Structure 1
Amino acid sequence: MISALVVIDVQNSFLQLPDWRHTSRPDIVPQVNRLAEAARQAGDAVVWVLGSRPGSGTVFDPARGFVQLMDGLEPLPDEPVLTKSAHNAFTTTNLHQFLTRRGVRRLTVCGIRTEQCCETTARLASDLGFEVDFAIDATATTPLPHRDAPGDVPFDELVRDPRTLGVDEILTRTEYALSGRFATIRTVDELTGN
């Protein structure tokens, strides 16, 4: 079966956010590189996706200069780098057309944020008929404050709020939500044969 690796939002924007120091996966770049190298060796496509919010003035606004891959990630010349403005990697890009033209039927999804852009992409990919492997330990997330948490509190204080979901809880929830429904949960070791 023809496969592709889709790397979502592993970009410098996240390094600028106050919650990044609480990330579940500070070593995401080496994990992604392991997957990319295995995909290349297998002859699979590798697609890089960047999240962008033009005109927002945030770290996701391309004018700020942070919407670029994190240091250590180097796409090959034939590997597309797509820019999206939606949570999933399909809606505002030509990802579906790219994969369809190549006959891809299986995707491996990795990137930042586990429960947001990565999970949303996996769900949509499944709905589009792709078989999906979700590389859980090549995704990263940060704690999620409760919906009623005050917006003017420093993130370090929000992390201590017992209502805040910790990264382990988020990863576990994502595994339960996706497994057997939208994706097969895999580790980098399982996907690379190491």
Structure 2
Amino acid sequence: MTASWKTRHRSLYYATAPEPDDPEIVPGATALLVIDVQNTYLERPARAGLSPAEQAHFDAWTPFHARMADVVIPNIADALSTFRARGMEVLHARIACATRDGRERSLSQKKPGFNNLLLPKDDDASQIVAAVAPRGDEIVVTKTTDSALTGTNLRLMLHNLGIRTVVCAGIFTDQCVASTVRSLADESFDVIVLEDCCAAATMALHDAELEIINMIYCNVIDLNAFKALLNKRS
């Protein structure tokens, strides 16, 4: 039998801890935050035109793209529908810079490698994927950092909205999602991470990060279990 969210993703720190209580989910004080589900992360070149080394790298990323298409994006769309149907707050975060050359970006986004992100705010690559795009007056924060709280006024907006619990979804589990979760926890928000609404480059990285952040910075819960908890309050 599959373990419940209360016993999954436990690190050694919490191996002997009692099962956590159900999180308090008050619809008027709970918001969904969708992090960095942007076009740039779903774009792929034609494999046939790549060198053997490039093809090997392409293939290494294929499981991530399959998870995004088959699991994460459909589940985030489901979560969005759930929150919207109940009139609950929905917020979005995206990485984008105000300048064409990205000169105002944080140091982490200027270092060479995967995290070197030049995403001017008006380019198609920086836009949120259409299937999970904002609707109406849903708030979108733009950041040049990993954490959605650092360098934005998201914390103030959540406070002004009366939000106490933030439900996080998006990518990448071990980077911007985890950084945002830690920041939210440090600001004394209750945090829930929807494990099947997130992805990292590999499932090993995804699972490892969930084990690290679970029970100290957040509760890691799958979407169906979260909806069941929410329905208890409805």
Fold match by TM threshold 0.5: yes
Give the TM-score, by structure 1 length.
Answer: 0.79
Q: 1:44 aligns with which of 88, 110, 114?
A: 88
What SS does the corresponding residue of 2:42 show, helix, strand or coil? helix
The one-letter code matched in structure 1 to 2:133 is E
The runs of 5 or more residues in structure 2 that have no matched partner are 1-25, 45-57, 103-115
Cα distance in 2 for residues equivalent to 1:86 and 1:22: 26
How far did residue 44 of structure 1 move? 1.7
1:187 to 222, 225, 233: 222
Structure 1 20/77 Cα, relative in aligned 2: closer, same or farther at 3 Å? farther
Match of residue 173 from structure 1:
208
Structure in which a larger fraction of residues adopt helix: 2
Deviation at 1:65, TM superposition (A): 2.6
Q: Where does residue 79 of structure 1 map in the other structure?
A: 138
In the other structure, the counterpart of 2:7 is: none
How far 1:12 moved relative to its partner? 0.2
Q: Larger deviation: 17-26 or 103-112?
A: 17-26
- AA of the residue aligned to 1:48: H
- Equivalent pair of 2:167/2:194 in contact (CA under 8 Å): yes
Give the percent of matched residue pairs that are identical in Structure 1 and Structure 2.
25
Taking structure 2 as the reference length, what is the TM-score of the superposition? 0.67
Task: Mark the runs of 5 or more structure 1 residues left unpaired by the alignment.
Answer: 143-166
Equivalent position to 1:100, from 156, 159, 170:
159
1:11 partnered with 2:38: yes
User: Are 1:8 and 1:118, in contact at CA under 8 Å, matched by a contact in 2?
Assistant: yes
1:129 aligns with 2:170: no
Partner of 1:22: 63
- The change in CA–CA distance for 1:81 and 1:20 in structure 2 (over 3 A counts) is farther
Aligned to 2:109: none
**Cα 1:59–1:140, aligned 2, differ >3 Å: closer, same or farther?**
farther
Q: Work out the number of aligned pairs and report it.
A: 170
SS in 2 for 1:66: helix
Q: Which has the larger radius of gyration?
A: 2
